[in-house]
Amino acid sequence: MSTQITFLPETASQTGGPYVHIGLAPKQAGFDIFENNFDNQLAKPETKGERIRLEGQVYDGSGTVLRDVLVEIWQANAAGKYAHPADTQDKPIDPAFRGWGRTGADFDTGFYSFETIKPGAVPGARPGTTQAPHICLVLFARGLNLGLHTRVYFEDEKEANAKDPIINGIEWEIRRDTLIARREERDGKAVYRFDIRIQDTPDGGKETVFFDV
């Protein structure tokens, strides 16, 4: 008989449900309760780096936009450093940048958006590798039993994207493009459009790559 080393099971996930905003974005649910609310404004006036807006919509398998989805992002600062003690790189922390934000999609249009800065490159898992600038993004909603993780990369970082270990880890090259946000200028400001398709859609939209992080 052998003994097996065990550890505690992770608590099971459950859907965030249709009223996820009550707890995570109460103003959007329609009431004012906390003095300090977490939101989608990651860039403060003193934050270093190029201001960008990240926006898009999330589609279900019928091509319908999700209007009750909650989106969170997590990213490094402009120097490519995360504001967390596990990031031991010899790079400056930006005291004016936490790197995290959340928002609900608009109840009418389904658009989500973040005002943030373009992140710097961070190291890959293996020594000597570098990840292209990216933003980690997670979705919670009614109908999603477990949060869906994906990554946002930038269209104008072609060279870095071509060397990115995560992108290159996707065996199906045709799927890699689902992680690239499109850049446009609006009133002199960079806007990256990143739409997410939970399933292939009837209009030909391809299912976004989701990660088991």
Partner 1 sequence: MSNPLLPPSTTGVFVQRDSDAHPPAYTPGYKTSVLRSPRKALISNVGTLSEITSPVFRPQELGPKDNDLITNFAKDGLPIGERVIVHGFLRDQFGRPVKNALIEVWQANASGRYRHKNDTYIGSLDPNFGGCGRMLTDENGYYMFRTIKPGPYPWRNRINDWRPSHIHFSILADGWAQRLITQQYFEGDTLIPHCPILKTINNEEQVRGLIAMQDIGNFIALDSRCYRFDITVRGRTATWFEN
Restricted to residues 34-93, the positions that interact with partner 1 (CB under 8 A) are 34-36, 60-62, 64, 66, 68, 72, 74, 76, 82-89
Stretch that binds partner 1, among 16-24, 44-52, 108-116, 155-163 (CB under 8 A): 16-24
- Rank residues 166 and 180 by Cβ distance to partner 1 and give the closer one: 166
User: In which element (H, E) is residue 166 found?
Assistant: helix 165-168
* Tokens 């031991």, residue located: 88
C-alpha 52/C-alpha 14 separation (Å) is 33
Stretch that binds partner 1, among 27-35, 109-117, 154-162, 187-195 (CB under 8 A): 27-35
Contact 94, 76 (CB under 8 A): no
SS3 for 15-60, per residue? CCCCCHHHHHCHHHHCCCCCCCCCCCECCCCCCCCCEEEEEECEEC
* Tokens 């807006």, residue located: 53
- Rank residues 26 and 49 by Cβ distance to partner 1 and give the closer one: 26
Stretch that binds partner 1, among 49-57, 99-107, 108-116, 184-192 (CB under 8 A): 99-107
| 124-163 positions binding partner 1, by CB under 8 A | 124-127, 131, 134, 136, 138, 140-149, 151
Binding-site size for partner 1 (CB under 8 A) equals 85
